[in-house]
Chain A
Amino acid sequence: MRLHLTVNGEPRAVDDVGADESLLSLLRDRIGLAGTKNACEQGECGSCSVYLDGTLVCSCLVLAGQAADRDVVTVEGLAPPGTLDPVQQAFISAGAVQCGFCTPGLVLAVDDLIRRVPDPSDEQIREALAGNLCRCTGYQKIIDAVHLAAEGAGNGHHGH
């Protein structure tokens, strides 16, 4: 089928999309946006997290066809090219990036958390990030990064 959708603010038309194809496959393999990572394909790891009409979802668990005429934002769309979103900057400043594989999904999950809860507690952070696995186990630095990003948001530096 032919599919129309908006990705990072840009209208896209994609041909020959399969009925059982995932949004993750559409983004990575057909549109070429490789920032969204493919790991477990069963919603366990959160590496494929994207916004679908502003809602954080695992793109491996959404059919490509379900994103037709919808608005998708991936990690590439968080900040204008060549710039960093405050959450991305906070991850760097806090040393929350090790191998980097889980980082795009975590950055989006943290962005989603801070939009809803501007100054989250450690417990709220743990619950919000429960679906994003870091196999380097760098969770403490990631929690530090969330607090850092929240401080930035509190100072009015957050948003895009």
Chain B
Amino acid sequence: MDFLQPKSWAEALEARAALPGGLPVAGGTDVLVALNFRRRHPPAIIDLGRVPGLDEVSADDGWLRIGAATTYDRLMTALPADFPALALAARTVGSPQIRHRGTIGGNLGTASPAGDALPPLLAAGAQIEVASRAGTRRIAAPDFFTGPKRTVLAPDELISAVHVPRARGPQQFAKVGPRNAMVIAVCSLALALHPDHRRVGTGIGSSGPVPLAATEAERFLEGVLSAEGLWDAPRPLSASVRADFARFVTIAARPVDDVRGTAAYRTEALRVLAGRVLDWAWADYCRTGAR
């Protein structure tokens, strides 16, 4: 098994193209578990830890660019204003030790349906930037995942960054698990209000083969907010709006029974989470409005 440690992005893309079966590693918090338990035997390991700039977060023209090697610890501290749902989700990942190493690019590359960073990417309208020697392309977050632990990433491509519009309204994230830390989500839900476009974004985690957007819930809430003039003059939502939004969220989920929970439990938990994240986000919007 070869160990490559490219010193530049160009070198990393060369290595990736030369070794299509090579396993890229950034923080290693997922990859090392697979290696320690001999679940993976790649012909080569490509360590991206020496590529300069891969962990940079920058803002330009209303958009953020989050480098693929940005750790959860950094996401927690750097993004509360510009991408609050991701900052909240990052804080629920593992432990301090895990958050110091684990990266958003790693979460995308592993592509577990339970990846905590993924529902916020869907809710906020993020795009995934991937690159090969041939160039760079951007993929809308919902189109990046093709199945459990499967993505559209080609064998010669690496994940380079996440692009996302800076938050113009409230965002929330909630997750269910048996402990308050160190848990893989039983289910999770992100919600983003986009008052500038009068849109609503959602992302459901760990309740389907891929992270899912609750499209009908989004359209339903947009319809209510527009029809009742609530974007401009926000006031508390009715109990029936809250209940209908939550019901549309559960309809979008495609949960299964597995070791972490049953499909029935996940559906009920998502219904509860949907009501909560809507309460929190809407209370925030009533207080502060659009940014």
Contact = CB atoms under 8 A, between A and B. Distances in A.
Interface of A: 1, 18-20, 22, 41-44, 46, 49, 55-58, 60-63, 65-66, 68, 109, 112, 127-128, 130-132
Contact-residue size bin, chain B (C-beta under 8 Å from the other chain): 20 to 34
Given A65-B3, A66-B49, A56 B182 contact: no
B180 A130 contact: yes
A46 B45 contact: no
A57 B100 contact: yes
A44 B181 CA distance: 10
27 contacts: A1-B3, A19-B2, A19-B3, A20-B1, A20-B45, A41-B37, A42-B36, A43-B94, A49-B97, A55-B100, A57-B100, A58-B97, A58-B98, A58-B101, A60-B32, A61-B101, A63-B35, A63-B47, A65-B45, A66-B25, A66-B28, A68-B5, A112-B96, A127-B181, A130-B180, A131-B98, A132-B95
B98 A19 contact: no
Interface of B: 1-3, 5, 25, 27-29, 32-33, 35-37, 44-45, 47, 49, 94-98, 100-101, 179-182
Contact of B98 (A43, A63, A127): A43
Contacts of B95: 43, 46, 130-132
Contacts of A60: 32, 36
Contacts of B101: 57-58, 61-62
B70 to A, nearest CB: 14
A49 B3 CA distance: 24
Contact of A63 (B2, B45, B94): B45
Contact of B97 (A1, A68, A127, A131): A131
Given A20-B35, A43-B94, A127-B181, A65 B100 contact: no
Contacts of B33: 41-43, 61
A19 B45 contact: yes
Contacts of A127: 96, 181
B271 to A, nearest CB: 28
B32 A22 contact: yes
Nearest to A38: B36
Given A19-B2, A62-B28, 12 more contacts: A41-B36, A43-B32, A46-B95, A56-B97, A60-B32, A61-B28, A65-B3, A66-B25, A109-B96, A112-B96, A130-B181, A130-B182
Contacts of B35: 20, 22, 63
Nearest to B5: A65
Nearest to B44: A19
B182 to A, nearest CB: 6
A31 B94 CA distance: 28
B32 A61 contact: yes
Contacts of B32: 22, 43, 60-63
